Structure 1
Amino acid sequence: MFFDNDQILAASRTIRPLLPKLIPALADQIDLQLSQLLNQTDLDETTQVNRLLEILDAHPETKSWLDQFLEIPAGERGYSRPPGDSPLAAATPYICPIGNDYTWYREANEDIPLCPDHLVPLVPAPA
């Protein structure tokens, strides 16, 4: 299956807040690498995406997450509830208004965090 650059960029932004749970020992290091690449403006998009894929494919935890992320249609991404509840509840995506390098999904009434790169409040992603 073929995935376009936008899907890989979206995955790279979305995985960042999940790294501490996916790969605790390397979360900060991987997040820094992703952040630097997502904010690097002197690369063409294909080179940027290839480098992001190298980072995500380098660890079984992030590769597995990426494979699952890319299988889910964009309109169906959200929060998965525990078994017995409805299978998927919509989660509102929030993005960094400055760099578009960080995506976070708000579940219920969670406080909206700051972008870890630019230290500004995340804003709802355009529909």
Structure 2
Amino acid sequence: MGDRDLAVAAVLRGHLTDGPACGELDERLAELIAAGRRGAEVSSPLEEIFERPALRDWVAAVRGDAHLRPPEVVAVARGDRGLAPDLQLPGPPGAVAAARFVCPAGDDLTWFRQQAGDPVPMCGTHHVALVPAPGGAA
């Protein structure tokens, strides 16, 4: 497993929802990313996580995107407003770039802001605010 799957794990960390199971998964992913960055073999445990039924399709979509964006971010970037056709404004929606944020203290968490008002989260590992990634939006 290479850097790309470590990056997918970092994106997954950034998009976990609240709850005890997510906290445990977040901690495990952080451990595996850190170990992988140090050169340890983490292919099997990461693949076990990636193949969980609740995550399998989401992870496959992230892996399949050239920019490693979650499917909900890709939908926003394509202009999918998520509204019924009769509620959408006329005209082409145009592409929307989602801002990518990363942990400045380590390369173990990636998060995409989908709307301007979304608050930027803290890194659960390093307890610092995420910062805009080099290259900005994706």
Report the TM-score when normalising by structure 1.
0.76
Instruction: Name the residue aligned to 1:64.
Output: 57
Computing the radius of gyration over CA atoms, which structure comes out larger, 1 or 2?
Answer: 2
2:39 is matched with which residue? 44
Give the distance between the partners of 2:102 and 2:32, measured in 1 at CA.
Answer: 16
Name the amino acid aligned to 1:20.
T
Identical-pair percentage: 28
**1:12-27 equivalence runs, <5 A:** 12-20=9-17, 26-27=21-22
**8 A contact 2:103–2:129 mirrored in 1:** yes
Structure 1, unpaired ranges of 5+? none
Residue number in structure 2 paired with 1:118 = 126
- Alignment: residue pair count: 120
Q: Report deviation, 1:33.
A: 0.7
- The answer to which of 87-96 and 30-39 deviates more is 87-96
Cα gap change, 1:121 to 1:40, in 2 (>3 Å): same
* Local SS of the residue matching 2:17: helix
SS at match of 1:100: coil
Summarize the Cα distance change of 1:11–1:88 in structure 2 as closer, same or farther, 3 Å threshold: farther
Taking the aligned partners of 1:5 and 1:19, their CA distance within structure 2 comes to: 22
Indicate whether 1:29 and 2:11 are aligned.
no
Name the SS of the counterpart of 1:93 in structure 2. strand
Q: Whose helix fraction is larger, Structure 1's or Structure 2's?
A: 1
**Cα deviation, residue 15, structure 1:** 1.0
Aligned AA (2:108):
D
